[in-house]
Amino acid sequence: MENKKFTPEEEERMVTKAYQEMLSGYLQSNHRKKMEIIERAFKFAREAHKGVRRRSGEPYILHPIAVARIVSQEIGLGSTSICAALLHDVVEDTDYTVEDIESQFGKKIAQIVDGLTKISGGIFGDRASAQAENFRKLLLTMNNDIRVILIKMADRLHNMRTLGSMLPSKQYKIAGETLYIYAPLAHRLGLFAIKTELEDLSFKYEHPEIYKQINEQIAATAGHRNEVYEKFAAPVRERLAAMGLKYEMTARVKSAYSIWNKMEAKHIPFEEVYDLYAARIVFKCDNEADEKKLCWNIYSEITDLYRLHPDRTRDWLSTPKANGYRALHLTVMGPDGNWIEVQIRSEKMNEMAERGFAAHWKYKIGEGEEESELASWLKTIQDILDNPEPNALDFLDTIKLNLFSSEIVIFTPKGELVTLPVGATVLDVAFYLHSEIGTHCIAGKVNHKLVPLSQKLQSGDQVEVLTSHSQQPQPEWINFLATAKGKTRLRAALRRDRRAVIERGEKDFAAFLNQYGLEPDNNVVNKVLAMEHLQHRDDLFFMIGCNEIALSDSMIVRLKGKQQASGSLLSKILRNPFANKSKNVDAEPTITTVPDSIDKKQTYVLTSENGVSNYIIAPCCHPIPGDDVVGYIDDDRHVIVHKLTCPNAMRLKSSFGGRLLSTKWDNKREKFLASIHIEGIDRMGILQELIYIISTNMAINIRGLNITANEGVFSCELTVLVEDTNVVTALCKQVKKVKGVNSAARMN
C-alpha cells in the first residue's frame, strides 16, 4: 500500500467517510453534543495538513480523524479531547503555534495540544537520555491533565494499526517501544482492550510467522472449543435465569500474545495451553449497593454446579486493583476435565475494565473513588520524577516496574491496606511508608513472626517494620526491592552518601583496566563516559561501584579499537563471552568482521564461514538460526544479534531505534550450542535410552549432560550442537516419545 496514488475525488470521499464515522460514534455517546467546535477543529486541521500524505499515500488528515475516533469511541472521551486529537499534530508539523490554537479553540484544548507536542515523535528518540527526558515530560503532563496521555495512547494505537507501511527496522523499533512502555501504561490506566490490541499488534510485527500460526490454531480449534463451552454454559444459564438476572454470558478467547507468552513461559506447545478462553458474566444492576452481593450469589450458583479450584479465586470486589479494576474471578473444572476461569462483573465494572477509570477523570464526574485511585498512582510516579536516575535506561526500567506488575494487598499493624507488586518485600513496605524508615530498616514482623528485610510477602500478610538508628542503606538492598518507589528512594539515599561507592568503583575500574595493560587516564575515562552516555567521572565510578555498569571484555574491544588490539587478544576478547555458549566449539577462534557499509533499509544477511562472521551472538540470549532475531549496531559498528524476545533487545529497541537492523540468517549453516531441559519419571536405563536416541538415531553431537534424580523424578540439562531451531524441535519431539519423559524444551 506504500505510496499508493489517489485522485482528488477519491481523497475527498475517504476523508468525508472517515469524519462522518467518527461523528456518528460521538453522537451516540452520553456527552453533551458540541458539534460546532469539532467541525471547526476538523476544518482547521484539514487546512493545516493540506497536501501532506502518510507513507501509505493516504491524506495525512486521516490519521488525526482516526485518533479522534479512538479517543471518542474506544476510550469514551468528549468534545475537548476529540478537538485536541484532531489538532494534535498541527503545532508539531505546521507553522501554527500553541497561541494560534488557544485563540481559536480556548485555553484547555491548547494546553492539551501543547502537552502532546512536547512529547511528539513517540516517547523515544535515538538517544537514551533524550528518551528518558521525553518520557519524564509525558508523566509530568499526566499530573496536569490525564487526557494528554489518553490521546497519546490513541495516537500510538492508530500508528500500530497502520504499521504495515513502515520499513522492517522501523517496525521493530515501534513494536518494541510499544511493548516496553505503551502496553504497560495502558494496563496501568485500566485500558485493557487497548493494552491487549497493542500487545497483539507488537507480536504480529515482531514474530509474524508464530502470530499467524497461533491464530490459525485458534481458528482450527474453535469448533471443539465452542462445543465444550456450550456444555459448560447451558446449566449456568439455567441457574442465572432462575435468579431473575438480566445478564450476558460470553466466552472470551485469550489473545495470541498471551497464549504465546504462556507457551514460552511453560515450554509447552499450543495443544497443552488448556485455559484458552475465559467465560465472562456481565449482569445489569440498577442499585450499586447490590453489586457485590449479586457477584457472590452468582459465584455460589456456579460452585454448586462445578468443582472449584481452591487457589484460583480472585476477589477484586473488596480490594480493587490499583488501576480501579473490580470483578470476582473463580476457576472451576469444566465438563472436558480442563479448568475454566469465570469472570463476574456488573455493567459498570465491565465498563471500567474495558475503558479504565482514567476516562472518568474529574473533568467528567468530579471527585470520586476513581480519581483518588489514579491520584494515588500519580503520587507514586511523582516520587520517581523528583529523584530521576542518572542512567536513562535505569530510569525507564524503574518506571516500568511501576507500570506493569501483578499485585498483592498487605496490611499495616493498624489495619491500613497497602497495594504492592507481587514479589514485594518487608523493605518495600518500609520505603513505601517513608524514606527514613526504609534506610534504617533492619527486619520486619510478618503476621507477628520475625523475618529478615528481604522476606517476600503474600497477599493478606500483616507487616510491621523494625528500624534501628545505627542501620545504614546498602547497595545490595536493590536486589530485595520490587517497587519503583523503593528502588528510587534507596538510590537517592545511596547518592547522598556515595563517596565510598565512588572510591570503590574507581578502584575496580583501575584494576580491570590493568588486566589489559591500560591506564585509567583522562583519555580512557572520557572514552568510557562517551560509551555510557555519561558526563561526569563520578557518575561512572558510582555506577561501576553499584554494579550498574558491567566491566566486560567488549568494553576493552571498544577502547583499544580493532587495529590496536593484537590478533590473539582480539580473538580472546571477541570469543570469550560466547565461546562456550553459541559458536562452533569445534571451529577455530571466530573473528568478527566489521561490514564496510550497512544499508538499514535492506535486510542484513547474517553470514559465517571458515571462522569469520559478520555478526556477534549476544551472550544474554544465545540465538541460533531459526530464531526471530534483530541486529543492533554498536559503537564500533559490530552487528550484535539478539533474539527478538530478549529483555536486553527490548531495551535496545525502545532506546536506540536508529541502530536496529532487520536481519536474516544465510543458508550456510555452522553449528551452534543449544540447551534443552528434560523432566520425567526416573527408571532404570532411561539415560542410556536418551543418549542412544540423540547420538545414534539422530546423529546429534552431545556437548554437555547433567542429570539429577530425586524421589523418583529426574531432571536433565542437555547441551547439544545443532544447525538451527528445526533440529531442536525434532529432538524435543523424539525425546518426549521416551517412556517416562514428561517434558523436553529448549531453555532460553
What are the residue numbers of the active site? 92-93
Q: Are strands 407-411 and 417-421 parallel, antiparallel or unpaired?
A: antiparallel
Grid cell of 103 as nine digits: 485563540
Tell me the C-alpha distance between 215 and 230, whole Å: 22
List Cα–Cα distances, 6 to 43, 53, 65, 738, in angstroms: 21, 11, 18, 61
Q: Ramachandran region of residue 58, left (φ > 0), alpha (ψ -120 to 50) or beta?
A: beta
Cβ neighbours for 348, distance < 8 A, ≥ 6 positions apart: 285, 288, 291
Of 346, 371, 345, 367, which Cα lies nearest the Cα of 357?
A: 371
Do 256 and 308 touch, CB atoms closer than 8 A?
A: no
Tell me the C-alpha distance between 701 and 59, whole Å: 58
CA angle 348, 349, 353 (to 5 degrees): 120
What is the phi/psi pair of residue 107, to 5°?
-70, -45
Q: Which amino acid is at 580?
A: N
Quote the distance between the C-alpha of residue 418 and its chain's center: 24
Tell me the C-alpha distance between 250 and 124, whole Å: 39
State the residue for C-alpha cell 450499586: 288
Tell me the C-alpha distance between 272 and 292, whole Å: 35
Do 351 and 190 touch, CB atoms closer than 8 A?
A: no
Q: Ramachandran region of residue 740, left (φ > 0), alpha (ψ -120 to 50) or beta?
A: left
Q: Edge-to-edge strands of the sheet including 639-643?
A: 604-606, 660-665, 629-633, 639-643, 616-617
Tell me the C-alpha distance between 695 and 108, whole Å: 71
List Cα–Cα distances, 415 to 224, 320, 635, in angstroms: 48, 17, 54
Cα-Cα end-to-end distance for the chain? 37
Do 524 and 559 touch, CB atoms closer than 8 A?
A: yes
Which helix (H) or strand (E) segment is 609 a member of? strand 608-609
Number of H helices, E strands in the chain: 31, 22
List Cα–Cα distances, 647 to 124, 397, 590, 677, in angstroms: 17, 11, 26, 21
Tell me the C-alpha distance between 196 and 403, whole Å: 15
CA angle 582, 588, 593 (to 5 degrees): 75
Do 395 and 388 touch, CB atoms closer than 8 A?
A: yes
Do 332 and 268 touch, CB atoms closer than 8 A?
A: no
List Cα–Cα distances, 203 to 193, 211, 260, in angstroms: 15, 7, 9
Do 543 and 391 touch, CB atoms closer than 8 A?
A: yes
Altogether, the residues listed in the chain come to a count of 748
Q: Is residue 476 classed exposed, middle or buried when 0-12, 13-18 and 19+ CB atoms within 10 A define those classes?
A: exposed
